[in-house]
Structure 1
Amino acid sequence: MSSTVSIRSDDALRDVKRAHVPFPVTRLALWAFTLAVAFGFAYIVAINPNFGWPVVAEYFFDPTVMQGLWVTLGLTVVAMIIGVALGLILAIARMSNDRLASSLAGLFIWFFRGTPLLVQLIFWYNMSTLFPRISIGITSWNTNDLITPLTAAIIGLALNEAAYMAEIIRGGLLSVDKGQAETAQAFGMTKARALRRIIIPQAMKSIVPPTGNQLISMIKATSLVSVIAMADLLYSVQSIYNRTFEIIPMLMVAVLWYLLITSILNVGQGAIERHYNRGDRGAPDRAKANSTTAAGAADEHV
């Protein structure tokens, strides 16, 4: 009797799914319409002389543009490394039982997430207005000598990124079962060792994908440093169109480079997500495996 009811339920479910699936003709029509609109838009853009495609081709690999591109990539890498490192420290402090450390980390995150990145960059660039000289002990430096456009860009981007990475990492750490840490401590592991050997490796599945999104966002956020005279990709194309007055073509050069870089990063992010999502296929065995992770690491520690 139960098998008959199950079969009927499956048949009913398939009927409902079929009812919601459009007819093949409808799907083909939707595909045809979408492709027609896409090709039509691409054709209009391609034949529009105002885009200045010959100028785009001429300046796409221009030395000034390439130099700005390398500055953009360098800023992204350095700011992301510093941001991830500081974000990890902030996330651990935010989850700490020490109320002072937790409050300071929360204040940092609140401030740098609550103020626009552009404002932060301008603030760092004009630090000499508030503090003409920076002193440490008996040593003193001119602020303008320390806070150059490069250092202002790195500090602004890295600190802003650290605030967002702190919340991403904290969310990843909270996704790990608390029993893992408790088991590790029961076997004599310190909190720091348990965090490094057990908690963080398991949290990576939740941390890595949004970190990829942050990396892509950082590539685009570097364009803001052009306002502080940092010679990134956008600043480089601006310096060219200020001489040639080819504004739209030079902006298209920047747009195409940003799209190319983010497309490559999207492919990499997709590969990483597929790697970390492979474990979902073994969900029935994951609980059993996780229950032995802490014990195994603790045995190794002992």
Structure 2
Amino acid sequence: MKLHYIFLSFLIISSLLFSCKKEGVKSPEFDVKTDKGTYKVGEQVVFNFSGNPNFISFYSGEVGNNYANRARTRENGKAIMQFTSTQAGGSQVGNLKMMISNDFNGVYDAPSIAKATWTDITNRAILSPGGTAGNNTPSGNVDLSDYAALNKPVYIGFYDLAPQNTLQPRGWTIGGLTINNTLTDKTIFAVVPNFLAAGFVAVDLQNPTYKWTITSTQMQVPSIVPGQATNEDWSISTAIDLNTVNPDYSIPIKGIDTRVANYSYVFKAAGTYTVTFLASNINVDDEKDIVKTLVLTINP
């Protein structure tokens, strides 16, 4: 009987070990060829395959579809911010400033703001001159490329300081803020696609009666009564990586349940393209890939 139990235990343990063993996959067998290396714009290019991997993905080598950029998430380009501003009443000038910092610690309180280095970049933008005609004045292109080149996240701050005096401070509304990163190939990436994405946080330093109010589309600091106590307020964005880009995508052309003998594609612009095919065998435990490239010349 004892030997019987030992044998049963051995069978159970062996079964468990076998069931936990990971199942690998074979390296894919795959190749791709074309009839020639030079084509014309608009001419159909036929890629002929050999082998039958589980999956095949295609990168044409065009902008946005480049294998070399498949894992890219950052690249230095031209960082441009745009927003609109509206000025409300008042004769006290110079109370609003646009600031930038790359060493703010992300803690939205007075000591952290004071500790950070802030640079006044107000003169890079066009601000509302006031009056009805000044409603939603476009800022123009606020170039932040010099800060993008530092490869550090930045914080954008709108700083309102209205000293106590007999002049009425002006109120301000800021909205429509976006930041785009434009690369040398003219690809444009939305670093901050809309005002809400900028993540502005209001910080009141003096006179809590008047402060920035922030909605999903704009922020506003009011025009206050002359003679009020000094009003000092910040509205500071979340950390912004000005070099943000999206990875390039692939075109899936084969799944595990199909067999594909060829694939056709048409190039719309002249140039030299490095075409890449990624072939993969995949299961829940393993993945093996093979990469095949072709250099094609596309003439006008």
TM-score bin (small chain) = under 0.3
More strand by share: 2
- The structure that has the greater radius of gyration is 2
Give the TM-score, by structure 2 length: 0.22
TM-score by length of structure 1 reads: 0.22
Please state which structure has a larger fraction of its residues in helix: 1
